[in-house]
Amino acid sequence: MSQAFWTFTILFGTLINALATGVMFAAMAAGVPAAAAILFHLLPLPYNALALIAVWRSAKTYDGSGFWATAAQLAAAVWFAAMIVL
């Protein structure tokens, strides 16, 4: 669960979303139509959903404390919502 949460969700997911947001702003500055710029911003959405599902499923099989499993699920869901905006 820790690899799914920390590595694939928090580290890689946040980097991918920050890159997509940067591409969106660069596209808008270059005069690309707004719809295309928004598409650039939303491109990581399938990865985000996959990362959320991975954390959710791995938390269900986590052998440690149920608190940490639930905390990881909640944090991944909040992260997912935040990445749509970021």
Tell me which residue of 85, 72, 60 sits closest to 9, measured CA to CA: 72
Q: Is the pTM of this model over 0.75?
A: yes
The range of the structural domain enclosing residue 61 comes to 2-85
pLDDT in tens, the chain (86 residues): 999 999 999 999 999 999 999 999 999 999 999 999 999 999 999 999 999 999 999 999 999 999 999 999 999 999 999 999 88
Phi, psi of 68 (to 5 degrees): -70, -35
Question: Angle at CA 7, nearest 5°, toward 79 and 10?
Answer: 20
d(CA 42, CA 16): 11
Number of domains in the chain: 1
Q: Which residue stretches of 1-86 are H helix?
A: 2, 14-29, 34-42, 45-60, 66-85
